[in-house]
């Protein structure tokens, strides 16, 4: 197959999924009214597919901080930190995050994707072995491939399987890197982190934890699953993103290991990517302050998640294994998933639809991400839309 034939094949497969009026992929959002509502296809929709967990995208303090930073430093950095230098705000954000996590070292990257890519390919090489949970994010998989290390998958959330595979390395297990996530983005389940930490310590391996979806969501102060389980001291490297709870763009890694600073010189994604814009850094610093000052946001998020999860469960939908800000509804085959997505869209609810191989199994998912900014009335409207789908499905089946 030629390059152009390959592209034509992809275009054919995705035809009908992308349009301006409203589609499950690449929807055109004309306007965003708030953290929970936007204009898609010419009408107002409740946004239940944004990862805006704490609802801070329209927070006045965050917007003001971004505006002030843009006025002081301009719209962009126009280069990497290695080439053009670090703005004072980049260093200040790294200091804020290090203090927040109670460690000495932090590196800020341009995106969460680049954070995982840059860290993995810097930490390990062809002489190392990586053990990663099979449900890990694409950025982790790509970082592993880029590193040239030997890659060994262990069964999702199965510490016993990890133990068995590490044991086979013998003395080389101390030269291995284990990678897992705090909260998995597709099904919304938590990592078996305490058991994985026990295996990690048993073999003296290193452990990298991606808390992208658990920052601001889990833990007494919002540091994530490691804080919730009391195992932070056992984690060697924690990566995360600003594009979820912190309502911005960028990524980071924090560590108690001083060797983290060497990554600034060895990570190609860090060295050769333009640094985050001043407005982004300013708004993220403000969001971090707001998150710490308003713990009630996390409580509201979990109240909404519990309400929606139980409501969908009572209707008979097959959901992810745990209550959380990510609520995945099994939508079956592609045709049914598209039918389901359109029915919800027509009822004024916008969710994500995810197809294999992005899903962890062969089924398609409708992925709802809950926000602290959602009102109870909006959560009820989402349940009502799912009820309408059930009724429409019954009518369609009877006509068939």
Is residue 327 pLDDT above 60, yes or no? yes
Q: What is the pLDDT of residues 172-207, one digit of tens each?
A: 888 899 999 999 999 999 999 999 999 999 999 999
Is residue 118 pLDDT above 90, yes or no? yes
Is residue 399 pLDDT above 90, yes or no? no
Give the per-residue pLDDT at 361. 83
Give CA–CA dist 375/365, Å, rounded: 24
pTM over the 0.85 mark: yes
Give the per-residue pLDDT at 397. 65
Q: Please report the domains of the chain, with CATH numbers, ordered by start residue.
A: 18-47+295-399 (3.90.1150.10), 60-293 (3.40.640.10)
Is residue 15 pLDDT above 80, yes or no? no
Whether the CB-CB separation of 255 and 218 falls below 8 Å is answered with: no
Is residue 25 pLDDT above 90, yes or no? no
Is residue 20 pLDDT above 60, yes or no? no
State the pLDDT confidence band at 41, using cuts at 50, 70 and 90: confident
| Average per-residue pLDDT for the chain | 94
Is residue 19 pLDDT above 70, yes or no? no
Q: What is the pLDDT of residues 199-246, one digit of tens each?
A: 999 999 999 999 999 999 999 999 999 999 999 999 999 999 999 999
Rounded to an integer, the average pLDDT of 371-397 is 91
Helix, strand or coil, per DSSP, at residue 149? coil
Active site amino acids? 185, 213, 244
Rounded to an integer, the average pLDDT of 114-119 is 97
Sheet with 326-332: list strands edge to edge: 326-332, 364-369, 352-354
Give the per-residue pLDDT at 358. 86
- Please count the other Cβ atoms lying within 10 Å of the Cβ belonging to residue 252: 25
Helix axis angle, 278-293 relative to 88-101, nearest 10°? 30
Give the per-residue pLDDT at 382. 98
Give the per-residue pLDDT at 394. 73
Helix, strand or coil, per DSSP, at residue 17? coil
Q: Which residue has the higher pLDDT, 29 or 250?
A: 250
Give CA–CA dist 41/20, Å, rounded: 7
Both tokens of 252, joined, read: 């980071």
State the pLDDT confidence band at 10, using cuts at 50, 70 and 90: confident
């Amino acid at each position: 197959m030629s390059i152009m034939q390959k592209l034509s094949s992809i275009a054919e497969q995705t035809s009908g999924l992308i349009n301006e009026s409203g589609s499950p992929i690449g929807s055109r959002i004309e306007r965003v009214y708030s953290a929970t509502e936007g204009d898609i296809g010419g009408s107002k929709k409740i946004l239940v597919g944004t990862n805006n967990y704490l609802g801070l995208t329209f927070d006045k303090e965050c917007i003001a901080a971004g505006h002030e930073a843009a006025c002081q430093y301009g719209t962009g950095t126009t280069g990497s930190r290695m080439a053009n230098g670090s703005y004072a705000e980049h260093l200040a954000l790294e200091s804020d995050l290090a203090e927040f996590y109670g460690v000495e070292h932090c590196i800020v990257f341009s995106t969460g994707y680049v954070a995982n890519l840059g860290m993995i390919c810097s930490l390990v090489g062809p002489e190392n072995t990586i053990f990663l949970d099979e449900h890990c994010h694409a950025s982790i998989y790509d970082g592993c491939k880029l590193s040239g290390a030997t890659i060994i998958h262990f069964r999702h959330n199965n510490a016993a399987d990890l133990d068995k595979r590490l044991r086979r390395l013998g003395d080389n297990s101390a030269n291995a890197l284990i990678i897992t996530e705090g909260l998995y983005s597709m099904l919304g389940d938590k990592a078996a982190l305490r058991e994985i930490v026990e295996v990690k310590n048993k073999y003296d391996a290193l452990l990298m934890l991606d808390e992208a979806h658990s920052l601001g969501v889990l833990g007494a102060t919002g540091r994530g699953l490691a804080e919730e389980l009391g195992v932070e001291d056992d984690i060697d490297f924690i990566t995360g993103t600003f594009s979820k709870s912190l309502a911005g763009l960028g990524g980071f890694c924090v560590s108690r290991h001083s060797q983290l600073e060497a990554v600034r010189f060895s990570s190609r994604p860090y060295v050769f990517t333009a640094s985050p814009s001043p407005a982004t850094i300013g708004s993220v610093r403000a969001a971090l302050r707001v998150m710490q000052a308003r713990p009630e946001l996390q409580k509201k998020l979990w109240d909404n998640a519990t309400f929606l999860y139980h409501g969908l469960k009572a209707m008979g939908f097959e959901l992810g294994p745990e209550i959380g800000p990510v609520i995945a509804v099994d939508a079956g085959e592609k045709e049914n998933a598209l039918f389901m997505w359109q029915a919800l869209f027509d009822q004024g609810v916008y969710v994500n639809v995810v197809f294999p191989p992005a899903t962890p199994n062969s089924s398609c998912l409708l992925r709802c991400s809950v926000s602290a900014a959602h009102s109870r009335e909006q959560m009820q409207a989402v349940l009502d839309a799912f009820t309408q789908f059930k009724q429409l499905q019954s009518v369609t089946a009877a006509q068939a």
